[in-house]
Amino acid sequence: MATTDTGFTPKGNLRGSTTGIKRDFIIGDTKTITVGDMVRLADGFIDLAAAGNPILGCVVGFRDANGLDLSNSRADYDGTWTESTKTYVSAGDNSTDHKIRAIVEIDPFTIYSGQPDDAIATHHLAGEYGDLVAASDQVDADTVTSSQAQMFYLGLDPENTARGLYVIAEHQIWGA
């Protein structure tokens, strides 16, 4: 069962913190990034975290070089911004020209709500791990294992039982 309820949403923190740690990073050239995607730093710029890559964090927004949200009519950006899906496709020279940034939740203790690419009750048990799908916005139910992988499953999201609660198990900050 494929789902259209994609993307991760910060829901809390293992330390009990009410706010996470957000940092801006310039998006690489010709990248398609959506709010809710898990990303990594590659060669100094934001890129999607593919299966098996250490994860830096989750995209929670975008800013231009002046700090304006891309939804702001005065935002200065090249590339394509789609408000309805919160997706930005960077220009081929974003890293050197407009330098649009992804706002990334990087706290390694953040808990995320996310729907895997298949029915959660069938494939997930608390304490298991899973890798991301290619789009970096869901856990691949076919990779669920007791061996360490990118995301660690804590249990069902009590606000939406089609979604699970996850933490990043292979965080780029830790060098995992």
Model-level pTM?
0.93
Do 101 and 123 lie in one domain? The reply is no
User: Considering the domain boundaries, does residue 2 fall inside one?
Assistant: no
What gap in Å lies between CA 158 and CA 58, rounded to an integer? 21
Do 82 and 37 lie in one domain? The reply is yes
Question: Which residue positions in the chain have pLDDT lower than 50?
Answer: 1-2
- The pLDDT score that the predictor gives to residue 4 is 59
Q: What is the DSSP secondary structure assignment for residue 119, as one 8-state letter? A: -
- The pLDDT score that the predictor gives to residue 2 is 45
Number of domains in the chain: 2
What gap in Å lies between CA 176 and CA 173, rounded to an integer? 8
| Residue in this structure with the two tokens 């993307």, named with its chain if needed | 7
User: Considering the domain boundaries, does residue 64 fall inside one?
Assistant: yes
What gap in Å lies between CA 118 and CA 143, rounded to an integer? 11
